Amino acid sequence: MNRRSYPGGVSSLLRIARFTRELTPLYLAIIACSVLTAVAGLAVPFLIGRATDTVAAALAGSTPVDAALRTAIWLAAALLLAELVQTVLSNVGGWYGDVMSNRMRTILSVRYYDKLLHLPQSWFDAELTGTIVARLNRSITEITNFAKMFSNMFATLLITTAAVLAISAWYAWPLTVLLLIVFPVYVWLTALTSKRWQRLEGDKNEQIDIASGRFAEVVGQIRVVKSFVRERSELQDFTTRFRATDSITAAQSSHWHRMDSLRRAVLNIVFFGIYAIIFERTVHGAFTLGEMVLLIQLMTMARQPVQNMSFVIDTAQHAIAGSKDYFRVMETEVDDRAASIMAQADDAQQASAPAPQLAPGQAMVSFDDVSFAYEKGEDVLHHISFDIAPGEKVALVGESGGGKSTIVNLLLGLYSAREGRIEVAGHQIDTIPLVRLRSRIGVVFQDAALFSGTIRENIAYGYPGATDEQVRAAAVRANADRFIERFEHGYDQVIGERGLKLSGGQRQRIAVARAILKDAPILVLDEATSALDTKAERQVQAGLDELMRGRTSLIIAHRLSTIAGVDRIVTLRDGRVDEIGSPAELAVSGGIYAQLLELQTAGNTKKLASFDITG
């Protein structure tokens, strides 16, 4: 993982503002509230200063006590008003701040998810789910925290600072000079601290992201962890990562506090000078007692922005780091075709895509000299060429890892071929909108991945508008109806994360039903019945045979009995097409199919009797 860098902060922040432009009215409302709060706040020292002078005059006997008292009470009332205004406005501003930051989180989260859903499959191959989630949560929290803090504090801070500078210049310019020195020095020291602090924060986040990624993976596959008794070592790894953040935090915090001592000491010394000047001037009669009280209060008010400034900078640095992580994902290149998926998604909800128009003699699926590598590594597929005619059933046979599932991935457009052409219904798949391509292909994946939720939702995943009858009909054809009915809640049975509460074979039958309901013209079955016993497989197969009638089908199965009825078989060896022919031809050719056939039948002569390779 590359170390994160943090230049160009302001542009990152402006980018967030541009990215969430629709929140501008809220930003303005918040700023208005902050400005008014600041103005009301500035009235306080003046009122107290006036009150001090009034009381001092009464004590000195230069004003009648009655009149002084009346004035003082009026001033106290004005003070009350100023403070009430502050109380109300800061709460109204706080409300706007909460609403704004939550809407910002909604916007950022939705766009992130939208983006993720359109990233290519290869992006997901390289990332751990838990890491993606941890990073998303952190970066969005950091950005919204900053937005909230910034909008609630920044305007007040700016107004107060400007006012304090102007007022102090009016009374005594040396005070202004000292304040003008302290601001940049403080900000500079803070920025200096933040650089190292942020680097350490990045190191810490990296550890946490890795630990979270593993955490999610372990929780998701807890059965494997338990069966191999790896709880201790998984916990150990997790502990090591978090312990590493302990030591990083210690270094980070000691650095921060040392620098904070330094910058606050600078602040203390400057304020020593400021107070000395104020006292000296007052003693020499340049200021009245009231003016002295006013100035002391103003100076105290000036301290606040200075110290808040470091907080603003810290939070800003967090937000900058967060926004970089965020925009790095947002900037990932997405295939134009993928970007249009959302726009076309409504078409895809239609279960049956319009049947593609084919010229006579044209293949429905055609691989022409296709080579492919997952990453920059070695090719997994070498010069693959084969055709599937409309309505034809073709099986892929080859050893494990030979590239069969990879061919399915390419056909679905999950990856792009490095070389060669793949055509569906006469169109090169790079030129067909992905939604149209994928809506034409019903697929049962090798790992029958289901979702949490009910059985009904899972079967209807590709066709959310399906009626109960349609769902049931699909389940019957997949031989799933009987076991579903036996559940307490039937089709409304909740099946756990990724369908964990179902048996492997039950999951597979749901996945088959899901593909059946999609009713697409091209059917791809990647080991669709591998988890079923022979009897259940026969029954599902009967449903599938009926489904395949008139449909173009690509079937992958290790159990050769499953594919005995296909029209043609393509055998793969080391990612190359070895032979293409009918089951009968290949059974006697001495190639992979013949060898596998011999191996599978040798141990099971009983099965041989019912095994019809001439199908």
> Greatest CA separation found in the chain?
126
Q: For residue 161, what are the contacts with CB-CB under 8 A and spacing of at least 6?
A: 183, 302, 305
Can you tell me whether residue 221 is helix, strand or coil?
A: coil
Establish if 2 lies at the interface with ligand ATP (CB under 6 A). Answer: no
Q: Which of residues 24-83 bind Mg ion (CB under 5 A)?
A: none
Q: Confirm or reject binding of residue 374 to ligand ATP (CB under 6 A).
A: yes
Q: Of 189-197, 242-250, 402-410, 602-610, which part binds Mg ion (CB under 5 A)?
A: 402-410
Least separation in angstroms between CB 29 and Mg ion: 57
Choose between 144 and 571: whose C-beta lies nearer to ligand ATP.
571
Contacts with Mg ion, 241-260, as mask; x by CB under 5 A: --------------------
- Under DSSP, is residue 532 helix (H, G, I), strand (E, B) or coil? coil
User: By the 8 A CB rule, do 286 and 295 touch?
Assistant: no
Please report, as residue ranges, which positions from 24 to 53 form the binding site for ligand ATP (by CB under 6 A).
none
- The nearest distance, CB 158 to ligand ATP, in angstroms, is 52
Query: From the list Mg ion, ligand ATP, none, which binds 452 (C-beta under 5 to 8 Å, kind-based)?
Result: none
Question: 552 near 546, Cβ under 8 Å?
Answer: no
CA-to-CA separations, 224 to 221, 234, 498, 530, 576, in angstroms, rounded: 6, 12, 15, 21, 34
User: Cβ 558 to ligand ATP, closest distance in Å?
Assistant: 7
Question: Is the CB of 128 or the CB of 330 nearer to ligand ATP?
Answer: 128
Q: Which does 57 bind (CB under 5 to 8 A by kind): ligand ATP, Mg ion, none?
A: none
Distance of alpha carbon 302 from alpha carbon 469, whole angstroms: 73
Do residues 151 and 31 lie in contact, with contact meaning Cβ atoms separated by under 8 Å?
yes
Phi and psi at 462, nearest 5°, equal -90, -5
To the nearest 10 degrees (0 to 180), the angle between helices 231-283 and 289-330 is: 150
Distance separating alpha carbons of residues 583 and 581, to the nearest angstrom: 6
Segment contacting ligand ATP by CB under 6 A, of 73-81, 364-372, 402-410, 422-430: 402-410
Which of Mg ion, ligand ATP, none binds 380 (CB below 5-8 Å, type-dependent)? Answer: ligand ATP
One-letter amino acid at 420 equals G
Of 114 and 419, CB closest to ligand ATP: 419
123 sits near ligand ATP (criterion: CB under 6 A): no
* Minimum distance of Mg ion from residue 400's CB (angstroms): 7
Contacts with ligand ATP, 440-459, as mask; x by CB under 6 A: ------x-------------
Least Å distance, CB 402 to ligand ATP, is 4
Per-residue tokens: 144:
């919204």
Q: Please give the structure tokens belonging to residue 260.
A: 């904070």
- What residue 477 binds from Mg ion, ligand ATP, none (CB within 5 to 8 A, per partner kind)? none
Stretch that binds ligand ATP, among 219-227, 296-304, 404-412, 533-541 (CB under 6 A): 404-412
DSSP track, 108-154: HHHHHHHHHHHS-HHHHHTS-HHHHHHHHHHHHHHHHHHHHHHHHHH
Selected binder of ligand ATP within 2, 62, 227, 400 (CB under 6 A): 400
- Number of residues lying near Mg ion (CB under 5 A): 2
Quote the least distance from Cβ 593 to ligand ATP, whole Å: 14
| Residues 257, 316, 5: CA angle, nearest 5 degrees | 85
Q: In this structure, what token pair is assigned to residue 150? A: 């910034």
Contact in structure between 432 and 368 (CB atoms under 8 Å): no
User: Within 13 A of 295's CA, how many CA atoms are on the CB side?
Assistant: 27
> Are residues 378 and 363 in contact, defined by beta-carbon separation less than 8 angstroms?
no
Query: Could you say which of 160, 193, 310, 406 contacts ligand ATP (CB under 6 A)?
Result: 406
CA end-to-end distance (rounded Å), the chain: 54
* DSSP 8-state symbol, 380: S
In the bound state with Mg ion, the residue whose beta carbon lies nearer, of 206 and 527, is 527
Among 71, 86, 190, 405, binds Mg ion (CB under 5 A): 405
Provide the minimum distance between the beta carbon of 222 and ligand ATP in the complex, in angstroms, as a whole number. 24
**DSSP β-ladder status, 522-526 and 365-372:** unpaired
Which residues lie closer than 8 Å to 24 by C-beta, 6 or more apart? none
- Interface with ligand ATP (CB under 6 A), residue total 12
Stretch that binds ligand ATP, among 208-216, 345-353, 399-407, 481-489 (CB under 6 A): 399-407
Which of the choices ligand ATP, Mg ion, none does residue 600 contact, using the CB cut-off of 5 to 8 A by kind? none
3 state DSSP class of 467: coil
Q: Which is nearer to ligand ATP, 400 or 614 (CB)?
A: 400
Q: Which of 135, 404, 477, 568 binds ligand ATP (CB under 6 A)?
A: 404
Stretch that binds ligand ATP, among 171-179, 192-200, 395-403, 513-521 (CB under 6 A): 395-403
State in angstroms the smallest separation of the CB of 141 from ligand ATP.
31
Could you count the other beta carbons within 10 Å of the beta carbon of residue 228? Answer: 10
Select 123 or 327, whichever has its Cβ closest to ligand ATP.
123
Task: Name every residue whose Cβ is closer than 8 Å to that of residue 327 and which is 6 or more positions away in sequence.
Answer: 12, 15
Which one of the spans 307-315, 328-336, 362-370, 396-404 is the region binding ligand ATP (CB under 6 A)? 396-404
Q: Which of residues 409-448 bind Mg ion (CB under 5 A)?
A: 446
- Tokens 């650089």 -> residue: 195
Distances (CA, A) of 562 to 80, 441, 540, 555: 87, 20, 10, 9
Cα dist from 6 to 147, 156, 196, 245, 309, whole Å:
18, 27, 11, 20, 19
**Under a CB-based contact definition with an 8 Å cutoff, are residues 372 and 417 in contact?**
yes
At its nearest, how many Å lie between ligand ATP and the CB of residue 401?
4
413 interacts with, out of ligand ATP, Mg ion, none, CB within 5 to 8 A per kind? none
What, of ligand ATP, Mg ion, none, does residue 97 touch, CB below 5 to 8 Å by kind? none
Nearest to ligand ATP of 459, 572 (CB atom) = 572
Point out the residue whose Cβ comes nearest to Mg ion: 405
Alpha-carbon span 483 to 594, nearest angstrom: 37
Contacting range for ligand ATP; rule: CB under 6 A; set: 9-17, 398-406, 471-479, 494-502? 398-406
Binding site for Mg ion (CB under 5 A): 405, 446
Binding site for ligand ATP (CB under 6 A): 125, 374, 380, 398, 400-406, 446
